[in-house]
Chains A and B, each alone.
Chain A
Amino acid sequence: MSSRRSLAVRMSVGLLLAMLLVLVGGFPGNLGADPPQPEKPKGGQCVRPAEWMRHNHMDFLKHNRTVAVREGKRVRSESLQKCAECHTSRERFCDRCHDYVAVEPDCFDCHIYPK
């Protein structure tokens, strides 16, 4: 009886130790990852303040696309073609953050990023 109990205790202690190892070994690696820095744009001023864009670019782009497609209103200075003049690389600008925060916008399944 006592040997069985001691086996159970030993097993649970071992399990706890294993979990601790995973926690200790796994966590610092994750904590060490800094947020990615997207590439600095080439041009001067963005169409909106950078801070505002950081929070609202998704709604901004979505709004512009709806207006462009359905109402035929084209604001050329704020088109996706224009974005690419300063943000020259989609991989180094858009994707860096999107990968980090694990969002997958499907814009570029169809839109070919301008060169």
Chain B
Amino acid sequence: MAKKTGGSFLKEAGRGPALDAKSPFAVSGLTVAYDRKPVLWNAGFAAPEGELTAIVGPNGAGKSTFLKASLGLIPKLSGEVAVFGRPIDEARGDIAYVPQRSSVDWDFPATALDVVTMGLYRRIGWLRWPGRRDKERAREMLALVGMEAFADRQIGQLSGGQQQRVFLARALAQDAKVYLMDEPFAGVDAATERAIVDVLKKLLAEGKTVLVVHHDLETVPVYFSHVLFLNGGTVASGPVTETFTAENLQKTYGGRLAATQLAALHEAAGMKT
């Protein structure tokens, strides 16, 4: 994290990425505090188009906050967000967000199909009801995550992994250009992990830009091409091959990452130091 000398620096630091009109999702100078306790200071990142980026960092590093504040779901003290160079509020249709599974009450009276259909609400528009074609499209999205057989099941009766797949299908239904996912791999079974990876590959093949908050460091080099290290702010970011280094891991996780873990990661990734 860069040293701050005042507001002017904040602004200056924030200007670079925001002017990056090419990036599908550029955040600059993002500062968020919960009740005077700072969570993110001057975080910035310009997502490379058509790439899979992992957002990693220790617990409380502000990974979820980074996504939520960027999307305007929680108030930010400062910062700009641009989607292909446009303000985010003019580009909501380009963005699909997958919240953490634990953020909703799964006893809600809805079926898997109902939830996926919610991904189409924006396009359906005000004062109109989802039609037969919308339902069909939602069903196709469920099939993409291997959940077509569970379309009419109440969501509370699905396993955690299946609920995650429903969330993913809802995001797919949005047919966005930028996908922001908050811990989709957290606590899911092996089959769901494979299904999520398949979806990520499919999105990549379609040229979509994907940011995933991810907690499993070992799979970062396997699943992702780019990485953003966060800890109270941007520590480092770039292609995995150049950026996913022992030095950056140490800077992000500090003493929390044992030497043995680093060594294991080394082996897993053939990492450069």
Q: Do A and B interact?
A: no
A→B interface (CB under 8 Å) = none
